[in-house]
Amino acid sequence: MFPFVDGFHWTVGHIVFLTAFGLVAATMAVTMFFVVQRVLDNFRKNRTAAIQWHSDFHDLGEQDRRCRHELTGCAARRECHNSFECGHCADHPRFAQLEPATSAVSLDAFGLDFPSDRLYHRGHTWVRVEEDGTMTIGLDDLGRRLLGTPDRVELPKPGDSLTTNGAAWYAFRNDSPVRVLSPVDGMVIETGGPDQDWYLKVRPTRANPNLAHLLRGAEVSAWLRRELERLQIMVAPAGAGPALADGGSLMEDLPQAQPDANWDAVYGKMFLAP
């Protein structure tokens, strides 16, 4: 059936077969080229995101790099040296055993909604693991109030790859971009937005993703108390508490409530993107 073989003679059937064979081979080659290119692009993006995160983490102030176990009182004066990647910390399992067994998230005093069926990233996103193994990602209630009503958001497309602590999406307020970090590794399969309760649905990169770096249970309350203290210092250094609270609850749109604050600096610290 192929030329250059003894006894081969060209016929119409040979021409049709070889043309079809060539088209199939070319299609497979082009498909493989784009698959390999996408894999390499994702690898470069993931590697770049990891490098940027480690650089950004070390640019954070010392008070912004406190260990999660210091916040709950299980460790004294402990700074994180693992870029909040608790799965790589040799001491994390030991401290985790000392944490309160309760799963309650008591935030009523702040007027904030932090459902206990979610895990929380210190860059103010949350993750909910669904029954089918996919994960839903959203902005937590404090992050939502920090941004208020964004002018627009730039979301990744379905099929795009996310890296933990890399950019998940960008929100724009007064033409300034705010980089929101991804709490997990995965591939985007669906997008939501600020008009919904969630922003992204992703399929995790691994069958059993390591979520040790995400906050849960009682430690969420301890973290939120520290976050609100930091926010008060940055937004109202003179103690102008009423600008942040309305009847004991945090204002829905904080930039609108305190327009003279340096919100670029606030976003850099609160969203861990200095």
- Give the domain CATH number at 53: 2.40.50.100
pLDDT at 171: 97
Task: Answer yes or no: is 32 within a domain.
Answer: no
Where does the chain have alpha helices with state H?
Answer: 12-59, 68-71, 92-96, 141-147, 218-235, 254-257, 263-270
Specify the pLDDT at position 233: 87
Rg of the chain over CA atoms, in angstroms?
A: 25
**Which of 118, 134, 115 is closest to 126 using CA atoms?**
118
Show the low-confidence residues of the chain (pLDDT under 50).
104, 242
Has residue 76 been placed in a domain?
yes
- Specify the number of domains making up the chain: 1
**Would you say residue 14 lies in a domain?**
no
For residue 253, the number of C-alpha atoms closer than 13 Å in the C-beta half-sphere is 8
Pairing of strands 245-246, 167-173: unpaired
Report the SS3 class of residue 249. Answer: strand
pLDDT reported for residue 109: 52
Please provide residue 139's backbone torsions phi and psi, each rounded to the nearest 5 degrees. Answer: -95, 130
Give, to the nearest 10 degrees, the angle between helix 218-235 and helix 263-270: 160
The dihedral of CA 172, 225, 52, 261: what is its sign? positive
Q: Does residue 214 belong to any structural domain of this protein?
A: yes
Residue 4 is assigned to a structural domain of this protein: no
The strand order across the sheet containing 167-173 reads 152-154, 167-173, 176-181
Phi, psi of 173 (to 5 degrees): -130, 120
Which pLDDT does position 73 carry in this prediction? 80
Specify whether the CB–CB gap between 141 and 124 falls below 8 A.
no
Q: 221 with 212: CB under 8 angstroms? A: no
Please list, residue by residue across 174-191, b when 16 or more beta carbons sit within 10 angstroms of its beta carbon and e when fewer do.
eeebbbbbbbbbbbbeeb
Say what the pLDDT of residue 31 is.
74
Q: Is residue 16 domain-resident? A: no
Name residue, tokens 């209630």. Answer: 141
**What's this model's pTM, rounded to 2 decimal places?**
0.78
Among 199, 197, 203, 187, which Cα is nearest to 135's?
203
Distance CA 254, CA 173 (A): 12
Task: Classify residue 18: in a domain, yes or no.
Answer: no
Helices (H) and strands (E) in the chain, counts: 7, 11
For residue 120, the enclosing domain spans 49-270
Instruction: Tell me if 25 is assigned to some domain.
Output: no
pLDDT for 247: 58
